[in-house]
Structure 1
Amino acid sequence: MGGDIEKTVASLQTMDLDDLRSFWRKRFGKPPALRSEPILRQLLAWRVQVQAFGGLDAQTLGALGRTGPVLAEGRQLGVGARLTRQWKGREVTVTVEEEGFRWEDRVFPSLSAAATAIAGSRWNGPRFFGLRDN
């Protein structure tokens, strides 16, 4: 049985988005509204394996339930923290607020959303503000 599952999971790698959605629909019902082939592949691989072998054990589910909500990276700095950097010859500052990250007169749900607005192109917020080494 394991070999069949391995073949099924491996076959997902050659499917395009339409094929992945069709596979999901036949096996599990309505597919999620995702446009990312890699993410849909991972979700399908997980679902196929859970269907064959079972899901997470009770202890793991309990541990995950105790972790609490996931906070946007940078929120751990605390309300009022200010992140500043030079960008294209000007100083930009984002302030951590209860609702998210404020830059000028707008509040963003994530540091990445704020960095993207500042830069005008997609950026990883923690990297943009130097919270990560790489």
Structure 2
Amino acid sequence: MSALDKRLEDLMVMPPAQLRSAWRDTFKSPAPDIGPDLLRRGIANRLQERVHGSLTSATKREVERLRKRVERTGKAGHMHAISLKVGTRLVRSWNGKSYHVLVCDDGFEFEGRHYASLSHIAREITGAHWSGPRFFGLKKRSGYKPKALANG
């Protein structure tokens, strides 16, 4: 059993007073006024982040965007985000020229410049407003229904 596994196991049986102390040790601040289950989860998350790393900045931004939407509207809405691995290279031909975009942790790189969205890059290439994911072939038009594949 790893040291992390042992600490996570210990959290499960800690009484509330001991959890509050563990919170202070972990976060270097007083524990918030929340129940033991949330204290355990918060401490466990931080311990795991220290060993395995935290969320990417892109994921943190998406969580924050959804949090604000929930605050504003009461619901997160539909998830239309396209998940691309860092290091993926998108290639698109347009008017006889090939364009390459590199997926970065915090956006995209195109011709040596950083962009927050694919739509900005699509506009740069075409001079017109495009949905970036659609321009790069990652998303079809809404209402698009693929043809059924023929069997045999």
**TM-score, normalisation: structure 2:** 0.42
